Chains A and B, each alone.
Chain A
Amino acid sequence: MTEARRRPKGADLLLHLALTLTAALMVAPFAWQLLTAFKTTAEASQAPPTFWPADPTGDAFATFFDSVPVWSQFTVSAAALALRVAGQLAVAALAGYAFARLRFPGRTVLFGLFIAMLMVPSQLFLIGQFELIRDLKLLDTVPALAIPGMFSAFGIFLMRQAFMSIPPAYEEAARLDGAGPLRTFRTVMLPMVRPTLGALAVLTSLYSWNDLLWPLIVSPRGDNRPLTVGLSGLQGQYGTDYPTLMAGALVASLPLIVIFLVLQRQFFNGIASSGLKG
């Protein structure tokens, strides 16, 4: 900050100019998507393209809602997300706390085993996960979408780091008051790692909402497909009807963009503390 103040105004202006231009490039595809969604198919397929819709219409949205079961797929996406986030938080918080604070034989070996999982690309698990879900007769169900994502070495690692940063004095105070391990965990420790829980929740939401490959695999019949699969199928149907595709892409992305705008800090904290991408 101090150096920014000392610098001549001109340099700051130049930086802003360069950043604004880059940001404009980054946002341009979104702007183009929005503009196209309100055009007619004929107008969107013109060369050279028009900028503003000549005759703004909501037809593309109507076509999208008519051809994709948006509401039911939205419900599937949302239900899978809720289940996955709830499961992930519970599993990761419990295990993270145990690894950070409890002593039991084999702790280091088990934790090492969990962390080793982080290195393996997710594709190696897919065949076995698919078979397990199939054998449990869960194909084409919402839990099938959510279950594998509830368990992640990454979540456990994140929570363990958070619990380790809390001074042990808090637990000792609770213990002196006669609280058992479970109560100490729930009433003393859990509230203190709320920011990390928030970060883990938003990152898990992001992965869950955006996932494509796993839903494609576990919904072979097409019942209970999330929005990602519905949207990718739209392309086969309306390959060149770009306004409809853009409208669909907009509607399907919007929920998570809104969540992001509201919970920016959790997103950024989650990414910065973990450094992990999808």
Chain B
Amino acid sequence: MTARAARPPARRRRAGGLGPSPLWGYAMIAPAFIGLAALYLWPFLKTFAKSFMDTPAFGPGTWTGLDNYTGLLGDGDFWDAFANSGVYTGILLLGVPAAVVLAAMIQQISRGRAVYRVLFFLPVVTLPVAVSMVWRFIYNGDFGLLNWALSLVGVPGQYWVADDTYAIYAIGAVGIWMSLGVNLIILGAGLQAIPPELYEASAMDGAGRVRQFLRITLPLLSPSVFLVTVLTVISALQMFDLVFVMLRSVDNTALDGSKTIVYLFYEKAFVQFDQGYGAAIAVVLLLVIMLATLLQFRLQRRWVFYD
């Protein structure tokens, strides 16, 4: 305090300091700090601790070291869930190039951009539960719209969400459909930032549309594409709703072969009340997400263009 008071007033003002006391700062972040500490930081530490414990449904847990983790390694369900989340993430990544092309197309047209953006965004603002129901109906093996459409072109129908050969792919298609709107907005903002003069100059040099897309749009858009890719992976690895609503029904055997990591976590921690084991799954998920993100930041040097 004394050191502060000794400062010349002019310097204090220039530094942007507001009041005479830093207490204002603490007071204003206090609600956020209390909330984040109690509801995020502390639960995080607790979950981390629980992952090293055996936790009965009632009563206190006991420390068991790495038992939950070694248990996971030998648990076929866990590896299946891991593989399913991987497949789902892979499918959603296929949606990224599609979004890039669509965003570029929307950027090219002179009229009606807003209409397309709204139409593509509709799935984002619709309840995931509602979306899942509609798609379940479309995927129905006996009278679904998809099988009918396929029959028109002579492709045999399938029980898309009742057969674990197809279920995760069927869900992945819905995931792409749901996330396209968000990706288009992020990529659209990136496209807006590309100076139009670049296109004019290259057009004068005789470059065609495709060449412009490859030589100008893609490199200059790559930071946005990178962002979309990172976000897609993070959210795809956490997918829960679609499995919960599309596959969970009394007689659906496809669920067993199509659980994702978070679904398995939910089942262990909140249905079977084995929180220690569930916590271990969540910690592994954190590690996977961190590794995947780190890897992408490493790889970005090879393809992301920053000027």
Contact = CB atoms under 8 A, between A and B. Distances in A.
Interface residues of A, number: 111
Contacts of A130: 270
B95 interface: no
A246 B134 contact: yes
Given A15-B108, A102-B22, A236 B129 contact: no
A256 B19 CA distance: 42
A242 B137 contact: yes
A91 B118 CA distance: 30
B265 to A, nearest CB: 6
A48 interface: yes
A120 to B, nearest CB: 6
A102 B129 contact: no
B145 interface: yes
Nearest to A184: B18
Interface in B177-224: 177, 179-180, 182, 185-186, 188-189, 196, 199-200, 203, 209
A4 B110 contact: yes
Contacts of A213: 240-241, 244, 266
A121 interface: yes
Chain A contact residues: helix, strand, loop or mixed: helix
Interface string A1-39: 111111100011001101100110011011011001000
Nearest to B288: A121
Contacts of B25: 98, 102-104, 107
A254 to B, nearest CB: 9
A267 B121 contact: yes
B249 interface: yes
Given A15-B109, A129-B39, A278-B235, A27 B119 contact: yes
Contacts of B249: 235-236, 239
A101 B16 contact: yes
A23 B119 contact: yes
A121 B235 CA distance: 9
B245 interface: yes
Contacts of A119: 289-290, 293
A212 interface: yes
Interface of A: 1-7, 11-12, 15-16, 18-19, 22-23, 26-27, 29-30, 32-33, 36, 44-49, 90-92, 94-95, 97-99, 101-105, 107, 110, 113-114, 117, 119-132, 147-148, 150-151, 153, 156, 168, 171-172, 175, 180-182, 184-185, 206, 209-210, 212-213, 216-217, 227-228, 231-232, 235-236, 239, 242, 245-246, 248-250, 252-253, 256-257, 259-261, 264, 267-268, 271-272, 275-278
23 contacts: A2-B196, A26-B177, A29-B135, A32-B137, A48-B151, A91-B35, A94-B29, A98-B25, A103-B22, A121-B282, A123-B282, A125-B40, A168-B16, A181-B24, A210-B129, A216-B270, A231-B129, A249-B134, A252-B130, A260-B125, A267-B125, A272-B186, A275-B228
